[in-house]
């Protein structure tokens, strides 16, 4: 899911050239990319969740409220995974790094880190992949321990993206 989300975001992210920046408000680029980030996060997480639920219903394994809660938790964790990494990639893009240079490490590092950290004892994997690591089957527990910190992370990354975007030199040729 994460590679598809990152590729979709990077391919559709707006980067106004010098002539567009003269004619349009620079904030339009930021707003457009914000909408695109939300869209790419949802469009890559929802089909997988729907497919999982449909397969569960057809196999009759999703029938109790507890199993529906697990499906909701899975959707939340997919959304948090996509959004958390995509916000970081967007910050790097706002710093002026081309998405072609960001994307391969952004896709490879979580895969390699997951493989390496699973061999280590303790909860290191849980802390590195905090927003998408399964912690339980209680929606309340997931909301308090993952969703609330995720909202704080999104606010922090949003402020960082705004600050970097506002400091970027818009006069140099792209």
pLDDT tier for residue 160 given thresholds of 50, 70 and 90? very high
Q: Read off the pLDDT of residues 60-109 as tens digits, 9 standing for 90 and up.
A: 777 777 888 888 888 898 999 999 999 999 999 988 888 889 889 988 88
Q: Tell me the C-alpha distance between 61 and 47, whole Å.
A: 19
Residue that has been written with the tokens 């950290």 in this structure: 117
Instruction: Give residue limits of the domains in the chain.
Output: 2-9+25-167
Higher pLDDT, 18 or 148: 148
- Model pTM score: 0.83
Tell me how far apart the alpha carbons of residues 101 and 74 are, in angstroms, rounded to a whole number.
30
pLDDT tens-digit map of 111-140: 888 788 777 777 777 777 777 777 778 888
Pair 117, 128: CB distance under 8 Å: yes
């Amino acid at each position: 899911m994460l590679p598809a989300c990152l590729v979709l975001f990077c391919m559709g992210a707006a980067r106004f050239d010098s002539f567009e920046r003269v004619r349009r408000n620079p904030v339009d680029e930021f707003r457009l990319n914000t909408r695109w980030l939300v869209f790419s996060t949802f469009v890559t997480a929802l089909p997988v969740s729907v497919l999982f639920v449909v397969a569960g219903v057809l196999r009759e394994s999703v029938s109790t409220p507890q199993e529906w809660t697990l499906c909701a938790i899975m959707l939340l964790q997919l959304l948090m995974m996509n959004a958390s990494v995509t916000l970081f990639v967007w910050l790097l893009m706002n710093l002026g790094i081309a998405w072609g240079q960001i994307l391969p490490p952004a896709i490879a590092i979580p895969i390699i880190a997951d493989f390496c950290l699973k061999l280590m004892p303790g909860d290191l994997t849980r802390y590195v992949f905090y927003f998408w690591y399964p912690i339980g089957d209680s929606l309340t527990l997931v909301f308090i321990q993952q969703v609330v910190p995720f909202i704080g992370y999104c606010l922090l990354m949003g402020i960082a993206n705004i600050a970097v975007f506002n400091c970027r030199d818009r006069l140099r040729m792209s």
